[in-house]
Structure 1
Amino acid sequence: MSGPESRPRLPLRFRGLRGRVMAAFVLGASLVALLLAGSVYAVSTSYMETQRVRTVERAVAVHAEILRLRLDSPRITAAEALESLHLTPGTIAMLQWSTGSSVVGADVGLPAVLEQAEEVPSAATEVTIDGHPYLRAVAEVEDGAVLHEFAPLSELETTLRMLRSILLASAVLAVAVAAALGAWAAQYALSPLRQVARTAARIASGEHDLRLPRAADDDLSPTVDAFNTMVDSLQQRIERERRLVSDLSHELRTPLTTLTTTASVLAGHREELSERPRAALGLLVEETTYLRGLLDDMLALARAEAGIHRSDPAPLSLSALLSHLLAGRDTGPVVLDLADDGMVRGRRMELERALVNLLANADRHGGGVVAVRVDNDGAEVRVTIDDAGPGVAPQDRERIFERFVTSSRSSGGTGIGLALVAETVTGHHGRISCAERPGGGARFVLTMPALSRPADTGEPAATQH
């Protein structure tokens, strides 16, 4: 049984707003073309057929009058009078009287059903002779003599066939033009939305001073003004958060530093204390150290989310940075593959802290770092860090980058280190992911744009405030 999954789906480019605009243009043009073509064909067919009938009826009436005048002369026979008529090419004339008939214009005799017709039709009718359509018109001559004329309809049918072809071609051309016009209209109508999307993406990546330029279009001005107002409000909120972070940093660090110093002084006199105060002092030192690390991570995460940076982006080598960090660590044998320089553009202190957090995470929860690799394909730089731990459950591989979330393999930690890594990497237009290392363990992959990546050419014409 076929379900919704088995139904054919349209390509992506025809499933969005652009596809709907194009479909509306094509459908509207198809309906209009169909109605116009059908109307033109129906009116033209009716008109030409009516004119053909009138022409044949007038011709047979005139010919009947001519025959009446010529048959008044005893020296002209009916056959001679019929042959003297000037018939249009292809027309068959038959003069029928009570004792016989005479035919002009046909190589063979007419069917018996026509020759033996007893009733004279009052209007022209269509008949078929030797497989060809004819229009039959009848007029009385005199003394029971009847003139039958059969005008060919092949020329009229050829004309109508050509008219159908022209109307069909015109309808197809109209639909094609409508499709092209719909594509252009969709492209033109959606260009402001794409500009808004690109500007919003750049603002989300940290360029908070960007604004959309003023629009001359009265329909777009409210949207542009609302967007810029929203960004202004967002920037004001970020400024307030920055001030809050700065105030919290100052207010929390001072008492925590005092508490840490006091605990250190007491730890220097540990031997003077009895067993129970000594155990309590150990817990105090441990918790103040944990609290100091938690505060540092929280403030660093808050600064990263608020866009507060201590330095400007500059070219740096991730390979050199990793070599420096690994040189001062007692982590046992580590397989290093730093052949690529891994040049990126970033803030050294923030990237160094992110890499330190990744290495510390591998030491604390993954049994230690076993391999570090840097790859550069010209567009992106990938840093791969493998550990020897039990790995991360598939359902936790995205959650561990959220705040205060630890995986099932965790044996301590604040749950902020990886969240800070994710925020730092995102601020550098990169991404971080967790996967399973071949052979067991966890594999963290940090990806950032390479320094040699060509600049994008499709940036919106945004303004700086």
Structure 2
Amino acid sequence: MKNRSRPWHRRFPLRARIIGAFTLGAIIATLFLVIITYGLSRESMLRQREASSQEQFFANARQVQGALRAEDPDFALILESLPSLSGSRSILRTSENTWVSLSLAPSDLPNLLIDEVKNASTGRQMRYRLEGESQLAVGLRLRPSQISTLTDVAYFEITPLSEIESTLESLGLILILGAITTVLIGASAGLWASGRVLSPLTDISTVAQALAKGQFAARVETIDDPDLMPIIRSFNDMAATMEQRIAKDARFASDVSHELRSPLMTLRASIEVMQSRRIELSERASQALDLLADDVNRFEKLVQDLLDLARSNSGSIPSDLVNMTELVEATVAMFEKQPPISILDGANNALVIGDKRRLAQVFDNLLRNAEKYANGATLIEITQSEGRVHISVEDAGPGVSPSERELIFQAFTRGNAAKNRGTGGGAGLGLALVDEHTRRHGGSAKVGNRRDGKRGARFTIDLPMVGRR
């Protein structure tokens, strides 16, 4: 079955799609209204102008028709006495090549209109452009009296439509500005609507991040929305179930650890008694006693790590102001083999808010891990960038293969390199505690290769920095 690529519109973020939908809807609706409004307004104004022009034209034509009853009428005087509407001008044709007008020439009229009027018994009109301006020309063939020597008389009037065009241009500009405003309002409405729609999703994302940091009591606030309420209720139910499950597992680990402490104390006391009388034991019995003591020590360390892991999954983190430089230096000072500490990028005395004891355990576990599997750490590097402090521990051991770089931070998991070396002393909880404590402080832990390309591993934790001392 072929993988179908996502539709093009789904490649954009949800917020962008919502805003785009509102904007597109506003554009379509506005464009439709602009076209309809402009078209209807233009048609209405032109019809009104045509109606008023025709009314005035036929009134003037009747006056000219009446003047034809005279034997020798003065057409120039007659045309001058005719009333004008909106700058209309008139011209009279008295024969094939004879025209009378105060301001027009025969070439100002369209030939098609002249021919139509010559062959028609009713009035004709035509819109056309004269010298770049829109005009309305109306013509009518007149009937001379029997005493008149004229045989082919036609009366024409030309009314300019420039005033209407100017009005339509102003209307078009207003409609365009209105359309732009409407589109902006539509985009703003889309922005507001996307905020309303995505607000619960943003809250869910924020709460999910809080849950990932170990704040298991975080919940999404309920809202009065019948469509979104089921999602929020389901998420909160899931968070509550997860919190109960984690608390139950933590209680189980804590209870088991506490229950194991009593027999361990008994074993420890018995071993101490036997060691006090070691001189009475045979060499084989002394070796068995040493093996037993080592196993009890390892078992005690396992129980303590289980308790720490159980406690890390519950309760709140103290808000101590921790100087990371001092913390790292104090932790390193407890080891016999002390690696050099390199402080770069102005990270000296970087401050972090959190639990000083747990943060010290993080570095202690990293150094002990290097000591156990790589003969000790070779370098500790402290840097800072973008408001976070990064602390790296490098060693010259076998390193960690890419396939194991996430697995080794899981509880009871050890890398193949550690297994192959046969140390056998760890239960796979040290790095799990490193990851858990770092995550509870809003940070992360990872492992990679050394920066200088040499053999070994580089464990790095990053934590949010609140400043420097």
**Which TM bucket (shorter chain)?**
0.7 to 0.9
Q: Which residue of 1 aligns with 2:128?
A: 127
Alignment partner, residue 303 of structure 1: 311
Q: Which moved more, 1:68-77 or 1:404-413?
A: 404-413
* Structure 1 residues 108 and 367: CA distance shift in structure 2, 3 A: farther
Q: Which of 23, 28, 39 does residue 31 from structure 1 map onto? A: 28
Deviation at 1:33, TM superposition (A): 0.4
Partner Cα separation in structure 1 for residue 97 and residue 359 of structure 2: 115
The 3 A distance-change label for structure 1 pair 80 and 370 is same
Q: Name the aligned partner's letter for residue 392 of structure 1.
A: V
Give 2:448's match in structure 1, choosing from 427, 435, 438: 435
The whole-number CA distance in structure 2 between the counterparts of 1:425 and 1:337 is 21
- Out of 318, 324, 332, the residue aligned to residue 330 of structure 2 is 324
8 A Cα contact 2:140 2:156, kept in partner: yes
Q: Confirm whether residue 336 of structure 1 aligns to residue 344 of structure 2.
A: no
What amino acid is the match of 2:340? V
Indicate whether 1:272 and 2:282 are aligned.
yes
Report the CA distance shift for 1:318/1:130 in structure 2 as closer, same or farther (over 3 A).
closer
SS of residue in 1 equivalent to 2:462: strand
Q: TM-score, normalised by structure 2?
A: 0.79
Q: Which residue of 2 aligns with 1:400?
A: 408
- The residue that corresponds to 1:463 in the other structure is none
* Cα pair 1:65 1:141 within 8 Å, conserved: no
Amino acid in the other structure paired with 1:272: S
Alpha-carbon displacement from aligned partner over 1:114-137 (angstroms, at most 9, x marks no partner): 696242375422234445432221
For residue 462 of structure 1, what is the aligned residue in structure 2? none
Aligned equivalents of 2:375, 2:174: Cα separation in 1 = 79
1:321, distance to aligned residue in structure 2 (A): 3.3
Task: Say whether the 8 Å CA contact 1:342–1:375 is kept in structure 2.
Answer: no
Greater shift, 93-102 or 278-287, is seen at 278-287
1:363 aligns with 2:376: no
User: Partner amino acid for 2:458?
Assistant: R
Distance 1:108 1:229, change over 3 A: same
Q: Which residue does the alignment assign to 1:113?
A: 111
CA 1:89–1:359: 2 relative to 1, 3 Å: same
TM-score by length of 1: 0.79
Query: RMSD of aligned C-alpha atoms?
Result: 3.8
The aligned residue for residue 166 of structure 1 is 174
Equivalent residue in structure 2 for 1:87, among 84, 89, 95: 84
CA shift digits 1:403-425 (9 cap, x unpaired): 34444533344333212100011
Aligned-partner residue type, residue 119 of structure 1: N
**Residue type at the aligned position of 1:317:** N
Q: Percent identity?
A: 29
Is the CA contact 1:64–1:140 (under 8 Å) kept in the aligned structure 2? no
| Bigger mean CA deviation after superposition, 215-224 or 173-182 | 215-224
2:68 corresponding residue in structure 1: 71
1:307 match: secondary structure: coil
Q: CA deviation at 1:32?
A: 1.1
Looking at structure 1, the residues matched to 208 and 459 of structure 2 have their Cα atoms a distance apart, in angstroms, of 29
Task: Find the counterpart in structure 1 of residue 100 from structure 2.
Answer: 103
Cα shift at 1:79 = 3.8
Query: Does the alignment pair 1:251 with 2:259?
Result: yes
Compared with structure 1, are the counterparts of its residues 222 and 395 closer, same or farther at alpha carbon in structure 2 (3 Å cutoff)? closer
CA contact (8 A) 1:357 1:421 kept: yes
Q: How many pairs are equivalent?
A: 440
SS at match of 1:328: coil
What letter corresponds to residue 134 of structure 1 in structure 2? Q
Could you say if the C-alpha distance between residues 324 and 157 of structure 1 is closer, same or farther in structure 2, counting changes exceeding 3 Å?
closer
Q: Gaps spanning 5+ residues in structure 2: where?
A: 145-151
Kept in 2, the 8 Å contact 1:139–1:148? The answer is yes
**Counterpart code for 2:135:** Y
What are the ranges of 5 or more consecutive residues in structure 1 without an aligned counterpart? Answer: 454-465
Question: What is the aligned partner in structure 2 of residue 145 from structure 1?
Answer: 153
Alpha-carbon distance in structure 1 between the residues aligned to 2:155 and 2:429? 108
